[in-house]
Amino acid sequence: AQSVTQPDIHITVSEGASLELRCNYSYGATPYLFWYVQSPGQGLQLLLKYFSGDTLVQGIKGFEAEFKRSQSSFNLRKPSVHWSDAAEYFCAVGDQTGANNLFFGTGTRLTVIP
């Protein structure tokens, strides 16, 4: 069965510091992988996605993620965090059959300190 694990519930970084959010997935085939960001009380915005090809994908707002099949990971990175990046981040794996459901992790809350 598909599943996503985000081991870090809450991360605090200083503005300007680098960021890495971890995501591990379980899926029987080559997965479709996504990172979404959610500001308080808002819906989810797609940051980036992977479904094939280059394992390093670039997204919006300066984010990137790397797909590592051997580690079943899809970690999100940003070289320099801005205060506006404070939000909840969700990793998701997409079911490639039927409904194409997304299975989400429990999220990582990012706090940015000045």
Q: Which residues bind another protein (CB under 8 A)?
A: 4, 32, 34, 36, 41-46, 49, 51, 90, 92, 94-96, 98-107
Least distance between another protein and beta carbon 7 (Å): 14
Q: Which is nearer to another protein, 43 or 114 (CB)?
A: 43
Read off the DSSP letter of residue 25: E
Instruction: Determine the length of the chain.
Output: 114
Rounded CA separation 110/107 (Å): 10
Q: Which is nearer to another protein, 85 or 89 (CB)?
A: 89
Least distance between another protein and beta carbon 98 (Å): 6
β-strand partners of 65: 57, 76
Rounded CA separation 92/21 (Å): 13
